[in-house]
């Protein structure tokens, strides 16, 4: 196995794991009962998913400037997701959106 093969398989594995996290976050958003738990599912899963996708793209990046751009984009996505989730939760709290206390069957 050459280095290119190992890097390719590592990249493919990390990207696959990232897609699984994105899918899990989407399922959480669809199935959880209230806005707060949905936000939690989406932000955690998206942050991990994007981290794995970025990690998978780093070994196959053509140059160091591309690596820097990927990490910078990932950082911006982390900040944007966190800020958006905070604003949605703050608006929900401001409008007295209740947290679901009971269990759904």
Whole-number pLDDT of residue 41? 87
Whole-number pLDDT of residue 16? 96
| φ and ψ at residue 63, rounded to 5 degrees | -150, 175
Assess contact for 28 and 41: CB atoms under 8 A. Answer: yes
45 to each of 13, 22, 39, how far by Cα in Å? 17, 6, 10
CA-CA distance, 77 to 71, in Å (whole number)?
Answer: 10
CA-CA distance, 21 to 7, in Å (whole number)?
Answer: 21
Whole-number pLDDT of residue 103? 53
Dihedral sign (CA 43, 36, 26, 41): positive
Whole-number pLDDT of residue 2? 59
Identify which of 4, 24, 1, 12 has the alpha carbon closest to the alpha carbon of residue 55.
12
In a 3-state reduction of DSSP, which class is residue 89? helix
Whole-number pLDDT of residue 105? 45
Whole-number pLDDT of residue 33? 87
Provide the residue-wise pLDDT of the chain in tens; the chain has 105 residues.
455 688 889 999 999 999 999 999 999 888 988 888 888 888 889 899 999 999 999 998 999 999 999 999 999 999 999 999 999 999 988 888 877 765 554
């Amino acid at each position: 196995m050459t280095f290119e093969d190992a890097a390719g398989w590592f990249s493919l594995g990390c990207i696959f794991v990232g897609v699984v996290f994105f899918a899990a976050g989407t399922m959480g958003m669809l199935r959880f009962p209230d806005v707060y738990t949905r936000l939690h599912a989406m932000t955690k899963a998206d942050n991990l998913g994007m981290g794995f996708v970025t990690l998978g793209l780093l070994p196959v990046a053509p140059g160091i400037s591309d690596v820097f751009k990927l990490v910078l984009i990932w950082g911006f996505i982390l900040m944007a997701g966190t800020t958006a989730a905070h604003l949605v939760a703050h608006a929900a709290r401001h409008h007295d959106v209740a947290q679901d206390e009971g269990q759904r069957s």
